[in-house]
Structure 1
Amino acid sequence: MSRYIYLGIVLFGLLFTNCKEKKTEPLPEQPKETTAPEPPKKVLSPHTSAMAMIGDAHIHIDYSSPGVRGRIIFGGLVGYDIIWQAGAHMATWIETNKDLVINGEVLPKGKYGFFTIPSKEDWTIMINKNWNQHGKDDYDANDDVIRFKVTPSISDKITEHLEYKVNKLSETEGTISLAWEKITISFPFKINQ
């Protein structure tokens, strides 16, 4: 038995000595966790504008341009016979530094909300005193300065993003157009002399 005790003491001594003499090396540095910055989210309805000089009149249209993205737009996303802010988010607005004549009526120089009521046949265009509103939340027909109808043209070609254009026809005349999905509407205007 004393032999086993002796052997136990020797083993314990060896272990104790090995543990004391064993050098511990520092752990290798762990790579720091890095996260790549997230790419900026793609804006689905980018804010944009259309403008032109017609003679000395500056016409400016400001809007957010939603995409079709495989959806049915008119009669789907944008319901028929319902007021639409003619863009996304904030109401589309139009500004002119000269009086314009649209559909035989004078639009005094200034800034206006631009609204439509799409339908299968004719669209109603409304140019409204209240230009600074979210969507059509505060639309009031009593604030319409000019209201008239246009007939849309339908194309087989899809315009992916809503697009406005101000086209110069002469030094005193132009057109304003809106195109999205397969629909284009357009109306003429004159500079009020």
Structure 2
Amino acid sequence: MNTPKKNIFLLTVLFLFTMTASVFAQDAPKPKASPAATASGKVGQANISIAYSSPAVKGRKIWGELVPYGKAWRAGANEATTFTTDKDIMVQGKALKAGKYSLFMVPSEGEWQIIFNSQTGQWGTTREGANFDPANNVLTVNVKPKKSAKMSERLAYNVTPKGFSLMWENLEVPVAIK
């Protein structure tokens, strides 16, 4: 093969390779704005797991605006957050049977309600607000939020031997479990 034909052949192969790569790149899935996440750990003998979607702050004011005060919230994004325990536990001094629950929260500046609801698998919100039937609430406890040690861009849960905490923006919401 002489040089001009060889160059044309190489350029053609390079062009086809580039076009093929760009076509496949367009089909690559984009990362979710609020990716699924799970926090798990042990509290005493109980295995605790919290499944949620993790939204980002993205420069927004979270508490009192994106997540309004005084209204039930799905405690994450997308589907309702779920809380699972394989043993009976005490949450803030109140009994919660082993099982899987939807976790909702009602934030306020001074005190939050943490709601464990027996209905699971639902989308987290409707046009009216949080998507749960209060008749299925199994346990509601009150907790005090506190300023977090550092800013959390993404909503996250942490399960420790003392319970769990929600951390997002500049706030931490600890929930005691025994």
Per the TM superposition, whether the score is higher than 0.5 is: yes
Structure 2 equivalent of residue 146 of structure 1: 139
Aligned equivalents of 2:148, 2:159: Cα separation in 1: 20
Structure 1 equivalent of residue 172 of structure 2: 184
Tell me if 1:68 matches 2:61.
no
Aligned equivalents of 2:140, 2:47: Cα separation in 1: 22
Structure 2 equivalent of residue 45 of structure 1: 34
Tell me if 1:34 matches 2:22.
no
Gaps of 5+ in 1: 1-27, 169-173
Aligned equivalents of 2:142, 2:173: Cα separation in 1: 10
Structure 1 equivalent of residue 159 of structure 2: 166
Q: Which 4+ runs in 1 deviate beyond 3 A? A: 28-33
- The 5-angstrom pairing of residues 1-193 of structure 1 reads 31-32=15-16, 34=19, 36=22, 37-38=25-26, 39-137=28-126, 138-155=131-148, 157-168=150-161, 174-190=162-178
Secondary structure at the aligned position of 2:30 is classed as: coil
Gaps of 5+ in 2: 1-7
Instruction: Give the conservation status (yes or no) of the 8 Å contact 2:83–2:102.
Output: yes
The alpha-carbon deviation at position 102 of structure 1 amounts to 1.3
* Closer/same/farther in 2, CA of residues 157 and 103 from structure 1, 3 Å limit: closer
Question: How large is the RMSD of aligned CA atoms in angstroms?
Answer: 1.9
TM normalised by structure 2 equals 0.81
Residue type of the alignment partner of 2:170: K
Secondary structure at the aligned position of 1:34 is classed as: helix
Aligned equivalents of 1:90, 1:101: Cα separation in 2: 26
The alpha-carbon deviation at position 121 of structure 1 amounts to 1.6
Structure whose CA Rg is larger: 1
* Closer/same/farther in 2, CA of residues 156 and 95 from structure 1, 3 Å limit: closer
The alpha-carbon deviation at position 54 of structure 1 amounts to 3.0
Aligned equivalents of 1:88, 1:79: Cα separation in 2: 14
Instruction: Give the conservation status (yes or no) of the 8 Å contact 2:116–2:137.
Output: yes
TM normalised by structure 1 equals 0.75
Bigger shift: 29-38 or 86-95? 29-38
* Closer/same/farther in 2, CA of residues 156 and 71 from structure 1, 3 Å limit: farther
